[in-house]
Structure 1
Amino acid sequence: MSGDFHLSSSERIEIVKWYAIHENAAEVARQFQYRYDQTPPSRKHILNLVRKFDETGSAQDAIISGRPRSVNTEENKERVRAAFQENPTTSSRRAALELNLSRTSLQRMMKELGLKPYRPQLLHALHDDDPDRRCEFAEIFLNLVDDDPSLLDRIFWTDESTFKLNGHVNRHNCVYYATENPHIVISQVMNAPGVIVWAGIWSGGIIGPFFFHDTVTAESYLEKLNDEIFPAIENRMNLEETFYMHDGAPPHYAQPVRQFLHETFPDRWIGRRAPIEWPVRSPDLTSTDFFLWPMIKDSFYVTKPENIHALKDAITTEMQRLPEDLCRRACQSVSKGLQLCKNLQDENIEQYL
């Protein structure tokens, strides 16, 4: 697309979805024009965007190879400074799009300006020994994939997420850019109506959503596993080959839950004290966090459901819209994220995805 044609994050996501469904750039352009009532991007740039997603698992701008024209000017640095002064909670990805800068150039100028990302405490900050555990998991997992590349197609990644009628703050994306720590606190309306959503993603698509109306406990999670989750997996996947993944949340760690998974997926599940140990405070390593929840929430909150029934219907509709091929590519990109984890060692990787 030309230099003055910019796509928002949600528009890029829709383009990738449409191409996964239709596999035709002209049809994607028609869908874009119908949805947004504006001139669509060219065929070339639709295909470039899809290629970018295939290669990296992200729909954001790729870094251009070769020796680029320098954009690190005083004028651009002042634009960057002003943008973050006006809206310090904007993401570097969105700022790069709005300022027509590559993320690499933007991040270089932010560093020169002393702009640092300060995260609210509810982000999963890494503890001193977490990087070693994350790198150890990445190495084990990547070795397993080297031995059996089909493993990425047989892992079922699961997670829970909270959806509120008033819009729920995503703890993983709350970043405040400033030259000094502002010690920000996020205030929210307490007890806003909402639901806890369980969902799983694998190369064959989505299983779920299933809903918890109260806090998830070991008892309610085990009941959900027995009554809904396991039958759904059994109906869609080959249990003899499937690996089940969940994180180390207390309900997941309960002895009855672990016993159920030992019996159902012997030596083939990932979690806390599992045959494959999941590293704590590592939601950025799973496709539910870097793909599924952002994809659903970006589209979901545009609809602004007015009650719990509409909330659940909207979540279900958005999940059903995700094409199988898109899920497959997201799951297969996990290994790239784990390689990045090994390379960075002591950092969260979500800002690089």
Structure 2
Amino acid sequence: MFSVEQREFICDTFSKHASWRECRQEFCKKYPASAVPCKTTIYKTVERFRTTGSVLNKKKVRRRYVLTTEKLDEIGAQIETSPTKSLHLLAVQCGVSKASVQRATELLKLRPYKISAVQQLLPLDWEARRRYCRWLQESVASGLLDPELLFFSDEAWFTLKGNVNSQNNVYWCSENPPVVREVPSHDPKVGVWCAMSAHKVIGPVFFEEAINSYRYVELILLPFFQELTEDEKMYGYFMQDSTTAHAADFSMAVLEEVFGERLITCGLWPLRSPDLNPCDYYLWGTLKDRVYVNNPHSLTELKDNIQREIANVSREELRCVWRNIFRRCEACLEAGGRRFESFL
């Protein structure tokens, strides 16, 4: 707005009078046809001269583009070698800013995928998983087992804090990779038991202390039996894992009174196989996505949310989940009993 001559006049006049008002008055007399400098303009002009020795505005320096083809190749190679590396560490190792690394991942069409936490599989589990999957396929094919009358059951723990934050567990890749992170179980706050079939979800049953065989029978099994139809009692199969409370003589005796030999439990059900149980791979994950939406502040609110969301599970969802059971068995056999997410 002001010429170099005018800016120099402002600096000279201000140094003589040390007053922005007198400086402005002198300026108006000298340049009556010019715009009048305000207090801020006068101070900034004087400060610029004192700081830089010039009345000219500081030239904007265009930042050098650091993401050259060579630098992109370097960042891409680093990610390919170690796809779980953080952006901060990538920036340090590649000698660029974190923002540049973020931009590089966009140019390379890479996205951060969260790593799922799963139970660790042992080599001894592989054959047990194959044996169960073959048994289920053969039992359905022969007509021994009606999949419409098959019940899976499980327990899960819900806390007021919700799911564990896995923001830092990411895997940089152009497609969602079959990567999981194996972790041990963690302590619960509210226990929930459910059983589900192709038609319905029975439960929830809540508990806040460890389940022994007596509580399992009184709190869970007996109410569960009351929800079954006559066909489900006479021809249905019931799956449970082999925890101590489930496999106890008392629990097994009560179950055998209803299901006889139609039990999928210890000896047949493979250990550490939540990926084969729809309660684990569907129900608990679905509930944990939904019950924390309104941020429950008490266990009572959390329980109300769980009951409501279980009641909202539709028949269509259950039918889809049941079809997925047999796809998972096929994938498990194809993977040799190992993790099979990449085969789905």
Distance 1:74 1:84 in 2: 18
Aligned counterpart for 1:294 among listed residues 268, 285, 289: 285
Q: Does structure 2 retain, via aligned residues, the 8 Å contact 1:290–1:350? A: no
Q: CA deviation at 1:321?
A: 0.9
With over 3 angstroms needed to count, the CA separation of the structure-2 counterparts of 1:319 and 1:333, relative to structure 1, is same
Q: Check the 8 A contact 2:334/2:343 in 1, yes or no.
A: no
Q: Could you tell me which residue of structure 2 aligns to residue 166 of structure 1?
A: 161
Q: Deviations over 1:149-196 (max 9, x none)?
A: 97221101110000001124399x996659xxxx998998x78xx310
Equivalent residue pairs, number: 247
Aligned match of 1:266: 260
Q: Which residue of 1 aligns with 2:150?
A: 155
Q: Give the TM-score of the pair, scaled to structure 2.
A: 0.61
RCO higher in structure (CA 8 A, sep ≥6)? 1
What does 1:226-245 align with in structure 2 at a 5 Å threshold? 226-234=221-229, 238-245=232-239
Distance 2:144 2:184 in 1: 42
- Match for 1:319: what amino acid? I
Q: How far off is 1:333 after superposition?
A: 1.7
Tell me if structure 2 keeps the 8 A contact 1:199–1:208: yes
Q: Is 1:326 the counterpart of 2:333 in the alignment?
A: no
Are the aligned partners of 2:120 and 2:182 in contact in 1 as well (CA < 8 Å)? no
Q: With structure 1 as the length reference, what TM-score do the two structures score?
A: 0.59
How do 1:108-123 residues align onto structure 2 when only pairs under 5 Å count? 123=118
Q: Is the 8 A contact 1:198 1:211 kept in 2?
A: yes
- 1:342 corresponds to which letter in structure 2? L
The answer for the alignment partner of 2:98 in structure 1 is none
Native 8 Å contact 1:285 1:338 kept in 2? yes
Query: Contact 1:119/1:176 (CA < 8 Å) preserved in 2?
Result: no
Q: Deviations over 1:209-247 (max 9, x none)?
A: 111121122221111234421112248x63111111111
Aligned-pair distance for 1:302?
Answer: 1.9
Larger Rg: 2
What per-residue deviation string (whole Å, max 9, x for no partner) do you get for residues 133-152 of structure 1?
A: 11011111111122239722
- Corresponding letter in the other structure for 2:193: W
Deviation at 1:296, TM superposition (A): 1.1
User: Is this contact kept in 2: 1:161–1:198, CA < 8 A?
Assistant: yes
User: Hey, what does 2:335 align to over in structure 1?
Assistant: 344
> Structure 1 stretch 148-157 or stretch 208-217: which is displaced more?
148-157
* Deviation for aligned residue 1:128: 2.1
Matches within 5 A, 1:23-172: 77=76, 84-86=84-86, 123-148=118-143, 151-169=146-164
Q: Percent identity at matched positions?
A: 24
**Residue 306 (structure 1) aligns with:** 297
- Which deviations, in whole Å up to 9, do the C-alpha atoms of 1:49-70 show, x marking residues without a partner? xxxxxxxxxxxxxxxxxxxxxx
Tell me how far 1:304 sits from its aligned partner.
Answer: 1.6
Structure 1: gaps of 5 or more residues: 1-72, 89-98
Gaps of 5+ in 2: 1-71, 89-104, 173-180
Query: Residue 129 of structure 1 aligns to a residue in which SS?
Result: helix
SS of match in other structure, 1:161: strand
Question: Which portions of structure 1, spanning 4 or more consecutive aligned residues, are displaced by more than 4 angstroms?
Answer: 73-84, 117-120, 173-178, 183-188, 350-353
Q: Summarize deviations over 1:2-29 as a string: whole Å, max 9, x none.
A: xxxxxxxxxxxxxxxxxxxxxxxxxxxx
Residues 153 and 202 of structure 1 are in contact (CA less than 8 Å); yes or no, is this contact kept in structure 2?
yes
Q: For structure 1, which segment, 321-330 or 75-84, has the greater mean C-alpha deviation from structure 2 after superposition?
A: 75-84
Secondary structure of 2:233's counterpart equals coil
Residue pair 1:162, 1:168 contacting (<8 A) in 2 also: no
